[in-house]
C-alpha cells in the first residue's frame, strides 16, 4: 500500500526521499512523487509508474533543491494511477502539500462543500480534499496547527499524513489514524516513514505513532502531541536488524532470498522457545488458569496469514480437543461476531498493519475477548493493541508474496498449540515429545527441500503455458493447498483454485480436461490412499499431475503421476511446514519462466492498509 517518507535536516532532501521510497517499493505502488520546500516555495515532481521514472525525471532529485520534503508511493484507490492523481497534492494557494496513506471516507461530502466555497480540484483523489481543506482553514485562522486540528476534526476514515507548508519551511507535520506511521530521530535531521525499512540506513532510533497523535518535525527535534493536542513524550525503540536483511544479498529476487532464509527463520522462531525439550513461551503473559479457562478459540487473519489459521485449525483442534473457528478478518469484523469474555482471539499478521485484521481485533477486544497476536513487525499497530504478542522473528519480509512469514507464523502457532495442550492436559507426553523433536529438526529438513530447486524448476515447466491450475488435498493438505494456490496466482497471474479433494466430484471436476495441470497434495499419511484415489479420478479426465508427498510415499506416487516432489517424513502436524516450501518454489519458478515482476506483482501491496 502507499508509502510515505519525510525528511528535514541540513542536506538536500530529494535524494533521501527517493532512497526512502525505493525501500518502500515492496509495499506495492503504481505512481510516486516528492515535494521539497526550497527557497522559492514548494516544488513537486510526480509520475506514474516505477520510481526510476521519477528519479530520472528529477536527475536523482537534483532538480528539487531544499532541505525539507515529503515523498510518496501511491497504490491507487480513488482515481486511476496517473501523474495527476499521484501524490503529493498541492493546495489552491500552492503553499501546502500533502501525502496520504489510507482512505478519507467522507471525501465526497467535503469536496462538495469546498466546491461550493469556490475551490477547484485537479485530481480524482480523496487526498486532495485534505490539502484544500487545510488551505481553507489556514486562510481563515492564519494558524497552521489550528488549521490541521480543524481538518482532522472534519475528516473520517483512515490516514497517515505527511504535510508541509511553505510558510513553515523548517517543519513537517505528521499524523495518523488506522494507518502506520513512524518517526526517525537523527543528528540534526529527522525522518518520517510508513515503515522502518525506509529509515534503517539513516537511523535506528524510532518512535511509533499512535492514532490521533500529531508530530512536528524539524532539524532541531520532533515535537509530539497526543490526541487532545497536549505535548507528550513517547518510548523510543531501537531497531537492531542489519541493513543486509532488507537487501537482496545476491539473489535475483527478494522472494527467492526469503524462501531460502526459511530454515534460519523457523529456527529463530522456535529454538529459543524450546528449553530442555519443553516449550517456554516467556513472552506470553497468560497464566495456566487463564489458558484452562479459555471458552472458545478463534483465529482471525487475511490472505496467507488466514491460511496459517486453516492449518492451525486442524492442528489445534487435534491438540486441544476443542472447536477452533477460523475467520477472514474482513468478514469477521462485520459479522456481529459471537465473541466475548472468556474467548481467546488469535490474530495473525505479518505486517501487523492489515486494516481488516486490525478492525477485527478491535471488534473482538471491544466485546471483551482476550487478544493474542502472532506478528512479525515489532511495534506494529496489531502488536501494540494486543493483550499478548508472540513475535515470529522472521526479519524484514520484502517480497509481496509472503514465504518466511508464513512459515514462522505456522511454527509459532504450532508451539502455542502444544503449549496450550500441555497446560490443558489434552496432549499426551509422547505426542508432545515427538512434536518438539520434529520442530527442532525442521530447519535441516527444509534445507534438503531447498536443495531440490533444480528439480522443482524443471517441474515448473509443466504449468508455465497454462491458464488454469488446480490444487487438491485433504485435511492438512487441503489447508496447505490454499497457500500453494495463492502463491501461484499472486505472482504468476495463472488462475488457480484450491479444492478439498473430496469436493471435486461435486462440481469442479467438470473443469478438468485434457492436459489441465493438477497439483495433488498427498503428504498426510492417514489419508494417502484417499489422495491416490483422487489422483486417479482426475487423471481419468486427462489431468496432467504434479504430486507432493513424503519420501516414504514417493515411489508409490511416482507410479501414477507425471512428476513428483517429496518432502522428508515428519510428525503429521508439521507436514505443512515442509510442504509449503516446494509449493513456494514452484510458484516462483513458474512466475520466473513467465517473466513476471515477482517481488512486486501487479495490483498487490505488501501491507494492506485499506479495506
517-522 sheet: strands from edge to edge: 495-500, 468-473, 517-522, 544-550, 563-567
Asked whether position 490 contacts ligand AGP by CB under 6 A, the answer is yes
Using CB under 6 A as the binding rule, the residues of this chain from 414 to 453 that contact ligand AGP are: none
C-alpha–C-alpha distance, residues 51 and 32, integer Å: 6
Nearer to ligand AGP, 443 or 601 (CB): 601
Residue number closest to ligand AGP, CB atom: 303
Taking the complex as a whole, the smallest distance from the CB of residue 400 to ligand AGP amounts, in Å, to 5
Q: Indicate which residue of 177, 313, 544, 606 is catalytic.
A: 606
Nearer to ligand AGP, 402 or 549 (CB): 402
Taking the complex as a whole, the smallest distance from the CB of residue 403 to ligand AGP amounts, in Å, to 8
User: CB under 6 A: which stretch of 36-44, 117-125, 302-310, 588-596 binds ligand AGP?
Assistant: 302-310
Asked whether position 379 contacts ligand AGP by CB under 6 A, the answer is no
C-alpha–C-alpha distance, residues 199 and 195, integer Å: 8
Asked whether position 197 contacts ligand AGP by CB under 6 A, the answer is no
Asked whether position 485 contacts ligand AGP by CB under 6 A, the answer is no
Nearer to ligand AGP, 24 or 130 (CB): 24
Taking the complex as a whole, the smallest distance from the CB of residue 194 to ligand AGP amounts, in Å, to 13
- The per-residue b/e assignment along 185-205, b for 16 or more CB within 10 angstroms, e otherwise, is bbeebbbbbbbbbbbbebbbb
Does 606 qualify as catalytic in the annotation? Answer: yes
Cis, bond preceding 427 (omega within 30 deg of 0): no
C-alpha–C-alpha distance, residues 175 and 181, integer Å: 8
Taking the complex as a whole, the smallest distance from the CB of residue 385 to ligand AGP amounts, in Å, to 14
Residue 300's alpha-carbon distances to 294, 303, 316, 373, 440, in angstroms, are 16, 10, 14, 9, 27
Contact predicate 74/86, CB 8 Å: yes
Q: How would DSSP label each residue in 281-341?
A: -TT----HHHHHT---EEEEE-HHHHHHHHHHHHHHHHHH-S-EEEEEHHHHTTS-----T
Nearer to ligand AGP, 315 or 349 (CB): 349
Asked whether position 132 contacts ligand AGP by CB under 6 A, the answer is no
Q: Indicate which residue of 2, 327, 463, 596 is catalytic.
A: 2
> In terms of C-beta distances under 8 Å and separation of at least 24 residues, what long-range contacts does 448-454 make, across chains too?
448/568, 449/567, 449/568, 449/578, 449/581, 449/582, 450/259, 450/260, 450/262, 450/263, 450/581, 450/585, 452/565, 452/582, 453/585, 453/589
User: CB under 6 A: which stretch of 213-221, 303-311, 434-442, 570-578 binds ligand AGP?
Assistant: 303-311
Asked whether position 584 contacts ligand AGP by CB under 6 A, the answer is no
Asked whether position 407 contacts ligand AGP by CB under 6 A, the answer is no
Taking the complex as a whole, the smallest distance from the CB of residue 380 to ligand AGP amounts, in Å, to 9
Taking the complex as a whole, the smallest distance from the CB of residue 216 to ligand AGP amounts, in Å, to 30
Nearer to ligand AGP, 270 or 354 (CB): 354
Residue 336's alpha-carbon distances to 1, 295, 346, 386, in angstroms, are 28, 18, 18, 20
| List 304, 315, 523, 577, residue binding ligand AGP (CB under 6 A) | 304
C-alpha–C-alpha distance, residues 99 and 71, integer Å: 7
Taking the complex as a whole, the smallest distance from the CB of residue 490 to ligand AGP amounts, in Å, to 6
Nearer to ligand AGP, 329 or 500 (CB): 329
Taking the complex as a whole, the smallest distance from the CB of residue 349 to ligand AGP amounts, in Å, to 3
Asked whether position 570 contacts ligand AGP by CB under 6 A, the answer is no
Within 10 Å of residue 211's Cβ, how many Cβ atoms?
15
Q: How would DSSP label each residue in 184-250?
A: EE-SS-EEEESSGGGTTTT--EEEE--TT-EEEEETTEEEEE-TT--EE----EE--S-GGGGS-TT
| List 33, 263, 303, 576, residue binding ligand AGP (CB under 6 A) | 303
Give the x-and-dash track for 325-364 against ligand AGP (CB under 6 A).
------------------------xxx--x--x-------
Grid coordinates representing 204 are 535506528
C-alpha–C-alpha distance, residues 278 and 427, integer Å: 13
Using CB under 6 A as the binding rule, the residues of this chain from 27 to 86 that contact ligand AGP are: none
User: CB under 6 A: which stretch of 68-76, 290-298, 400-408, 426-434 binds ligand AGP?
Assistant: 400-408
Asked whether position 481 contacts ligand AGP by CB under 6 A, the answer is no
Contact predicate 572/550, CB 8 Å: no
Residue 88 per-residue DSSP state: P
**Which residues lie near ligand AGP (CB under 6 A)?**
302-305, 349-351, 354, 357, 400-402, 490, 607-608
What are the catalytic residues? Answer: 2, 606
Amino acid at each position: 500500500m502507499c508509502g510515505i517518507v519525510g525528511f528535514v535536516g541540513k542536506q538536500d532532501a530529494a535524494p533521501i526521499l527517493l532512497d526512502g521510497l525505493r525501500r518502500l517499493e515492496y509495499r506495492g505502488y503504481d505512481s510516486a512523487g516528492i515535494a521539497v520546500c526550497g527557497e522559492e516555495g514548494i516544488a513537486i515532481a510526480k509520475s506514474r509508474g516505477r520510481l526510476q521514472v521519477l528519479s530520472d525525471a528529477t536527475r536523482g532529485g537534483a532538480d528539487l533543491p531544499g532541505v525539507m520534503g515529503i515523498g510518496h508511493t501511491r497504490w491507487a484507490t480513488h482515481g486511476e494511477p496517473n501523474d495527476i492523481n499521484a501524490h503529493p497534492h498541492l493546495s489552491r494557494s500552492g503553499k501546502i502539500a500533502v501525502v496520504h496513506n489510507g482512505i478519507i471516507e467522507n471525501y465526497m461530502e467535503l469536496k462538495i462543500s469546498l466546491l461550493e466555497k469556490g475551490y477547484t480540484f485537479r485530481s480524482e483523489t480523496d487526498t486532495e480534499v485534505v490539502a484544500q481543506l487545510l488551505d481553507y482553514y489556514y486562510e481563515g485562522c492564519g494558524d497552521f496547527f489550528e488549521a490541521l486540528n480543524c481538518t482532522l476534526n472534519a475528516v473520517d476514515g483512515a490516514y497517515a499524513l505527511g504535510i508541509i507548508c511553505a510558510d513553515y519551511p523548517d517543519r513537517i507535520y505528521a499524523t495518523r489514524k488506522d494507518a502506520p506511521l513512524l518517526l526517525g530521530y537523527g543528528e540534526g535531521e529527522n525522518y518520517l516513514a510508513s515503515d522502518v525499512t525506509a529509515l534503517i540506513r539513516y537511523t535506528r532510533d524510532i518512535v511509533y505513532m499512535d492514532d490521533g497523535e500529531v508530530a512536528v518535525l524539524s532539524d532541531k527535534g520532533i515535537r509530539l502531541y497526543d490526541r487532545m493536542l497536549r505535548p507528550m513524550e513517547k518510548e523510543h525503540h531501537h531497531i537492531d536488524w542489519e541493513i543486509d536483511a532488507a537487501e537482496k544479498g545476491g539473489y535475483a529476487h527478494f522472494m527467492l532470498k526469503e524462501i531460502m532464509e526459511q530454515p534460519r527463520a523457523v529456527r529463530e522462531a522456535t529454538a529459543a522457545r524450546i528449553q530442555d525439550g519443553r516449550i517456554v513461551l516467556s513472552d506470553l503473559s497468560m497464566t495456566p488458569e487463564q489458558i484452562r479457562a479459555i471458552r472458545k478459540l478463534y483465529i482471525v487473519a487475511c490472505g496467507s496469514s488466514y491460511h496459517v489459521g486453516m492449518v492451525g485449525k486442524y492442528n489445534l483442534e487435534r491438540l486441544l480437543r476443542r472447536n477452533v473457528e477460523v475467520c477472514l478478518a474482513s468478514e469477521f469484523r462485520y459479522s456481529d461476531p459471537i465473541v466475548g469474555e472468556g474467548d481467546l482471539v488469535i490474530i495473525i499478521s505479518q505486517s501487523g498493519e492489515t486494516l481488516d485484521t486490525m478492525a477485527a481485533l478491535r471488534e473482538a477486544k471491544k466485546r471483551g475477548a482476550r487478544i493474542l497476536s502472532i506478528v512479525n513487525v515489532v511495534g506494529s499497530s496489531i502488536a501494540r493493541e494486543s493483550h499478548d504478542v508472540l513475535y515470529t522473528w522472521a526479519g524484514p519480509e520484502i517480497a509481496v508474496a509472503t514465504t518466511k512469514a508464513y512459515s514462522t507464523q505456522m511454527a509459532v502457532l504450532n508451539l502455542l498449540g502444544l503449549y496450550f495442550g500441555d497446560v490443558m492436559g489434552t496432549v499426551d507426553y509422547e505426542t508432545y515429545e515427538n512434536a518438539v523433536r520434529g520442530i527442532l529438526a525442521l530447519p535441516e529438513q527444509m534445507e534438503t527441500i531447498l536443495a531440490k530447486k533444480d528439480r522443482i524448476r524443471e517441474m515448473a515447466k509443466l504449468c508455465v503455458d497454462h491458464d488454469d491450475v488446480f490444487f487438491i488435498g485433504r485435511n492438512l493438505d487441503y489447508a496447505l493447498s490454499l497457500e500453494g494456490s495463492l502463491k501461484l496466482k499472486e505472482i504468476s497471474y495463472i488462475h488457480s483454485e484450491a479444492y478439498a479433494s473430496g469436493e471435486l466430484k461435486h462440481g469442479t471436476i467438470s473443469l478438468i480436461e485434457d492436459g489441465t495441470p493438477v497439483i495433488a497434495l498427498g503428504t498426510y499419511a492417514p489419508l494417502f490412499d484417499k489422495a491416490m484415489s483422487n489422483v486417479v479420478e482426475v487423471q481419468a479426465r486427462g489431468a496432467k499431475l504434479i504430486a507432493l508427498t513424503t519420501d516414504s510415499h514417493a515411489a508409490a506416487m511416482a507410479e501414477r503421476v507425471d512428476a513428483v516432489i517429496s518432502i522428508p517424513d515428519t510428525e503429521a502436524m508439521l507436514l505443512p511446514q515442509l510442504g509449503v516450501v516446494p509449493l513456494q518454489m514452484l510458484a516462483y519458478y513458474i512466475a520466473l519462466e513467465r517473466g513476471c515482476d515477482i517481488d512486486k506483482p501487479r495490483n498487490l501491496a505488501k501491507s494492506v492498509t485499506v479495506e
